[in-house]
């Protein structure tokens, strides 16, 4: 299938190892398709010479910028998905392949979201910018000519605003996903009565002591316990 998704990349942050493992477990548990899941670990990208950026004090995770290396990691071929590690999936991710338009360079959920909190889950300052959270789950059409702009050099030198607001693309090259694929905890439920395909604990997840009472906390804890009881070894 020409538009099938063969690889899934999850951003890895050493402060959120268990979040990454549970996210990966939830993807594998719910899919019926064969899919390769890769972690975006900063030290591995540095060792390969693919990541040379200086430390950004405004970067909230270790994968703030590395997600935009996905097309290069795919050799600019095929479709691949990136998501933050603070996701919990309830639906088969292979369904993301349905009705993809090869003329689109990326797909994402196009929220109109402005966080109320001044600080993030780990105490870092919350940043507010256009297209907030659009880049937390991205379907990359790695073969698209416009994505060839995402060279290793460009990703390492461009600003966060350029990358996270998809400024290498025209608006009509950005496809829209069903909001249920990036259900923002504490926000989407205020206007959407459906059930999420994937919850994004964007404010903070129950793996942090201060965020045990968030929406869908119990679902994440149940998934974590199932992962641990099965000794599902995810590296």
Residue 66 sits in a domain of what CATH number?
A: 3.90.550.10
Q: Would residue 58 count as lying in a domain?
A: yes
Give the C-alpha separation, 73 to 67, whole Å.
Answer: 10
Residue 205 lies in a domain: yes
Q: Confirm whether 53 is domain-assigned.
A: yes
Does residue 235 belong to any structural domain of this protein? Answer: no
**pLDDT mean values, one per 10 residues, the chain (235 residues):** 82 96 96 94 97 89 96 97 98 93 97 64 56 91 98 97 96 97 95 97 94 96 94 54
Q: Classify residue 234: in a domain, yes or no.
A: no
Structural domain contains residue 207? yes
Of 214, 216, 205, which is closest to residue 17 (Cα–Cα)?
205
Q: How much is the pLDDT for 115? A: 64
Q: What are phi and psi of 110, to 5 degrees?
A: -100, 75
The residue segments making up the domain with residue 39 are 5-229
- 125 within domain boundaries: yes
- pLDDT for 114: 67
**Number of domains within the chain:** 1
pLDDT at residue number 1: 46
- The pairing of beta strand 79-83 with beta strand 5-11: parallel
């Amino acid at each position: 299938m020409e538009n099938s998704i063969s690889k899934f990349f999850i951003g890895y942050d050493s402060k959120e190892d268990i979040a990454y493992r549970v996210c990966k477990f939830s993807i594998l548990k719910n899919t019926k398709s064969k899919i390769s899941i890769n972690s975006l670990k900063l030290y591995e990208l540095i060792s390969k010479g693919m990541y040379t950026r200086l430390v950004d004090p405004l970067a909230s995770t270790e994968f703030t910028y590395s997600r935009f290396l996905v097309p290069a990691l795919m050799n600019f071929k095929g479709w691949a998905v990136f998501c933050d590690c603070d996701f919990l999936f309830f639906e088969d991710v292979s369904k993301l392949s349905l009705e993809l338009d090869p003329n689109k360079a990326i797909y994402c959920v196009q929220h109109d979201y402005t966080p109320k909190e001044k600080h993030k889950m780990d105490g870092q300052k919350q940043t507010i910018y256009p297209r907030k959270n659009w880049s937390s789950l991205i379907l990359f059409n790695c073969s698209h000519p416009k994505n060839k702009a995402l060279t290793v050099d460009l990703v390492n030198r461009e600003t966060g605003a350029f990358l996270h607001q998809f400024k290498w693309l025209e608006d009509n090259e950005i496809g829209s996903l069903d909001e249920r694929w990036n259900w923002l905890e504490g926000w989407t439920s205020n206007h959407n009565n459906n059930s999420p395909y994937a919850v994004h604990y964007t404010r903070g997840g129950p793996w942090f002591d201060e965020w045990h009472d968030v929406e869908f906390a119990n679902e994440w804890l149940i998934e974590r316990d199932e992962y641990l009881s099965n000794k599902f070894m995810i590296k």
